[in-house]
Structure 1
């Protein structure tokens, strides 16, 4: 409960402001690098391979980033719950500065190659495996509990905005100067590192020394498996976005279907960011408060429809196909923002602090699976059935998955607000009355 003199907004806290700026910079850099890595690898592969063979390289790039997350997830979540989350983030950000700087130098000097790109992609995956849980679990330690829900919502919006806008930034930077795209990513990682150095000491969650670390690592999986609402929100995004991987095939559409080149890739990659940004701005003024589960389900269905429309641009006249594709991607980004806003808020608010690192690591694994592994799936499927069929089929799959999840997990369909289940309606009413009286 607020006292009359306490700040009422998360942005009143300097550490949280530094955290948000650093989070935005790091996510912009991470997802900007992902699209640039894919575009550069595709272009290099196309010099000696067919479209199908080059598309498979996109799958390998996604796999190189996903495998470290897959194997390290139990360890990274436990580390985030047992060590200073600031130090973990600082070290991994420094590693990302070096990795992106190396690619910038290699591209500038002209000796960049597919093996180097794959190697750096794996290093980025390792850094993200440790950085993600520590960063996500740190936010609740920077503000008082009474403003935590708003802080989580703002942090989720910043993260999603960076995830969607990052590819656009990377695409435009690559069109201007290929090596500059990596240099920009390195600079953004350096900014995130500086912001993390500005954050003072934070309270550490209590450490459980009575049980073996392996048992504690398993606790994260057990908690997610037994909390059906958290399980539903995590897995819905996993399977829906895993199937509907339209953005993973943007390089193919930009070069070989829509014929718009690297500049057009920037426009396409920017489109989801526009939709996400407008939606995020709306939520900053009008936070979602009711029927959050149904709105998430509806958003994922809309995501699938937008994916189908984008895939179908291959059948439209070339004069209007890019415009229709951009419009569909704007809608896709808006729907994705709604879904992630709901998911991240529910996960963080329904998870105790001592478990946030492990649960965040599992959430990150599913996000990576839906993005990097989805990129691999889309690339390999495009090599087998063609990119158009892969995109349209993925959109249909996302819609079917959403309908199945609505049936399997009534907890998600019936989730009315972001409040944890222990906060009863009468408690909320009493707190609201007391707060108005202050």
Structure 2
């Protein structure tokens, strides 16, 4: 047993593994070029998304840029998927925003360290297949709920308001009703045009970084034909975007461990663990299907180990928790990426682009960021996935609806945990397929 764990640990810590098999097949130079080009385009798509996710989470825009770059590198080196792109994701927004409403970034680093430790242990003790058994109905419901949380979290930016919007969907709906008549129509227009541009360009070609083009439109609009219209820029809210990407943020240890602090530490670490584990494994599985992978499949246990490494290193470099990013992974595959080299390239290109564009990015309207996140939220609700759940049975339909409603009404943890408990407790009575979903599995690592 001990030797098995040591061999598994050695395997997990080896960044050069079988995931590069397709890179060495056929024309190697052409394969490398495809991965590099995929990394470049994904970097251009990721910069505005990373900024948006960071600001929606109560952090600064540059923390999303550097965090996404570091996560992309660490995930590519130590993850379990050939194709997956790592970065900030929408599912983390309500978790991190809730934490940042009370604590600071150093406490977030500490929480992420705890979650990272358990992610790495989960990989080492082969929990990968167990985590994957969370039913599709809960995942779809959770995704729908998060989409509503993200969309309503941007009402202040979209309406061009200078007032701080209180956290929580009830407060956000009330804000819309109270401030609708005094919304800045130019900010609303920028947000809607940004949303439309993102939707249109992704359909035209994956080589067009729609979100980055939309930022360019917002920059021009605020500088020229809509100048002086009260449009709030990123620099108005956050100041200049620094390009010192080597900032190290240690975890916070100098505070009193009261009962509330201990509870919050466990609560948020558990939330980060669950989001990182479920989303990364789902993304890896989706990536193999989308790429028609006939070679080495993704390794769920190595993926959990890699997620632990990502969530240990990324917050340390002034970032925040990250996981596998579904949208950017799909773009990566559509661009022809065949190995983790694309993720490594994304790290380099993203930091270089951000350093070059920093003075322009800080002059982008906040409404642009709101429009991009509105686009992200709309893309999370997929009719095909909802139909798949509706084709199941009434128990799974109820699970989806329950999770979708409870995520925005309560918060992530109560909604998802109660849904999972209901599935395992009541599933044996109401779900005819429940027994077949918990058969023994073969460990894909060393047996």
TM category, shorter: under 0.3
Structure with larger RCO (C-alpha < 8 A, sep 6+): 2
So what's the TM-score if we normalise by structure 2?
0.27
So what's the TM-score if we normalise by structure 1?
0.27
Query: Comparing both structures, which one devotes a greater share of its residues to helix?
Result: 1
